Structure 1
Amino acid sequence: MAEAITDRDVVRALRPFVRATGPLLDTLREANLLGLRDREVEHGADRRLVDRLWDRLAQVEVPGTAGWARMGVRQRDDWWLGRLGRLLSLLAAIPGVGGALADRLPIQAALGAAGQGLLLSAMAGERGFTSTEDRVRLLAHVLFRREVDGLAVDPVEDEDRRTRELTEELRAERSTFRAVGATVWKLARVLWRLEDELDKRPRGRLHHQALGMLPVVGVLGDYLGERWALRRVRADAYAWFGTQ
């Protein structure tokens, strides 16, 4: 019989997870892409076509643009849920091609939990919850229904090494799709050790799970289920923020 997972085990897994996701999300949020965030939109028919193009780009609401800087916190939550959420839900749903067999494997649940953890870290950052301890408490509460203190349980040197290992692809390849995908995979493996806890995370509705049991089309059911679960994650996070 496997030993029960303790709060210490949860904190030990979540601390390197949070430390690895924080820099990635902060970089995406604060990056001043090509100087677009500081660009003032100009008007006039005599401007060059290239100037008008740059102005249009500056209005796109993505991190690092002027449009993003003007967005409110809830609007940024919507962006993370929509843009980042779609990518993460797709990554978590891909094992669903195998239907019921894939659903019995913990990696799908770990990928889903990793995506939910990334969304929670992004939302926390928008509200000033930047410490590792705060984000660990948030993730433990929403994903695993546990109240933990989030303090370090291992030597800091070991945490530093684990963070470097988890983010080495991002440092080598910047933020390419391949590097991001590889990093999410590593983050999922971190949560994989909490296999018995993963079923506690927000999941899709019963009809999403039923569709996910079917071969091939199961990926659609899993994708829709993960998207619905992310909305639950956001609602649970709002409740947690309201108590802090």
Structure 2
Amino acid sequence: MSEAITDRDVVRALRPFVRATGPLLDTLREANLLGLRDREVERDADRGLVDKLWDQLSKVKVPGTAAWARMDVHQRDEWWLNRLGRFVSLLAALPGVGGALADRLPIQAALGAAGQGLLLSAVAGEHGFTSTEDRVRLLAHVLFQREVDGTAVEQDAADREAEDRATEELTSELGERSTFKAIGATVWKLAKVLWRLEDELDKRPQGRFYHQALGMLPVVGVVGDYFGERSALKRVRAAAYAWFATQ
């Protein structure tokens, strides 16, 4: 019989998780992609094709563009939910090809929880909760229904070094020009961190019952799991908003 997972176990797992997601999301949010943020739409009818192309790119609502800078907090939350949400939901749903058998494997729940944690860190940043401690408290509350202080209890120098190494390893795939492959590999590493909290994963927000029923079927189960994860992410965001209101 496995030992019960303590609050300290949750905090020790979430701290490197949050530290790995935070800088990544902050970089994506603040990156000035190709200098687009500083380039407003010009209205010179004589501009060349290249200039017109740059202006069209500056209208795209992605971090680093002028359009992104003009978005309010809730619009940015919606962007994270849709763009990031689709990507992490697909990753979490892929094991669903195996139907009920795959649903019994903790890796699918861990991938789903990793995606939810990534979204929570993104939304938290938009609402001004940028510290590791705040994000750990948020993730513990929403994903595991636990109230923790987010600090590493009795962390000595060796523990801090171990946390630093764990964080560095989680982000080792990311470079100056991170690809979808690198991002996917990083999400996989984040999922393995949460896999250690296997007994807690069922507490995270889930999809509707009909998503879970469809997910039990072989092959088409991936469809049910995908829409289930998308539905769960909306519940995650709602839970985050409720948490923000109490802080």
| 3-state SS, counterpart of residue 233 of structure 2 | helix
Query: Secondary structure of 2:228's partner?
Result: helix
Q: How does 1:32-51 map to 2 (within 5 A)?
A: 32-51=32-51
Task: Tell me the amino acid that sits aligned with residue 239 of structure 2.
Answer: D
C-alpha separation between the residues in 2 aligned to 1:57 and 1:50? 11
Task: Please say if 1:187 is aligned against 2:190.
Answer: yes
Q: TM-score, normalised by structure 1?
A: 0.98
Which of 158, 175, 179 is the matching residue for 2:162?
158
Q: Which whole-Å deviations, capped at 9, do the CAs of 1:136-162 have from their partners, x for residues lacking one?
A: 000000000000000014421111111
CA RMSD in angstroms, aligned pairs only: 0.8
How far is 1:207 from its partner? 0.4
TM-superposed deviation, 1:174: 3.2
Residues 11-60 of structure 1: per-residue CA shift (max 9 Å, x gap): 01100100000111011000000100010211021111111111110011
Q: Which residue of 2 aligns with 1:90?
A: 90
SS in 1 for 2:246: coil
Give, in angstroms, the shift of residue 175 of structure 1: 1.5
Over residues 216-242 of structure 1, what are the superposed CA-to-partner deviations in whole Å (9 max), with x where a residue is unaligned? Answer: 000000000000000000000000000
Query: Identity, % of aligned pairs?
Result: 83
2:68 pairs with 1:68: yes
Q: Distance in 1 between matches of 2:216 and 2:178?
A: 33
CA–CA distance in structure 2, aligned partners of residues 32 and 105 of structure 1: 40
Give the Cα–Cα distance (whole angstroms) in 1 for the partners of residues 55 and 174 of structure 2. 29
Aligned to 1:207: 210
Aligned residues: 243
Q: What corresponds to 1:239 in structure 2?
A: 242
SS at match of 1:149: coil
Q: Structure 1 CA distance, aligned partners of 2:128 and 2:107?
A: 31
1-structure distance, mates of 2:177, 2:225: 29
Alignment of 1:48-197 (within 5 A): 48-153=48-153, 154=155, 155-171=159-175, 174-197=177-200
Letter in 1 for 2:167: T
The 2-side partners of 1:206 and 1:127 are apart by 31
Aligned amino acid, residue 210 of structure 2: H
Following TM superposition, the consecutive aligned residue runs of length 4 or more in structure 1 with deviations greater than 3 angstroms are none
Amino acid of the residue matched to residue 187 of structure 1? L
Amino acid at match of 2:3: E
Aligned to 1:74, the other structure's residue is in SS state helix
Counterparts of 2:223 and 2:202, CA distance in 1:
20
What is the alpha-carbon distance in structure 2 between the residues aligned to residue 204 and residue 128 of structure 1?
28
Q: What is the CA distance between 1:194 and its match in structure 2?
A: 0.4
In structure 2, what is the Cα distance between the partners aligned to 1:184 and 1:49? 38
Give the Cα separation in 1 of the matches to 2:18 and 2:233: 18
* TM-score normalised by the chain length of structure 2: 0.97
One-letter amino acid matched to 1:200: K
Q: Which runs of 5+ in 2 are unaligned?
A: none
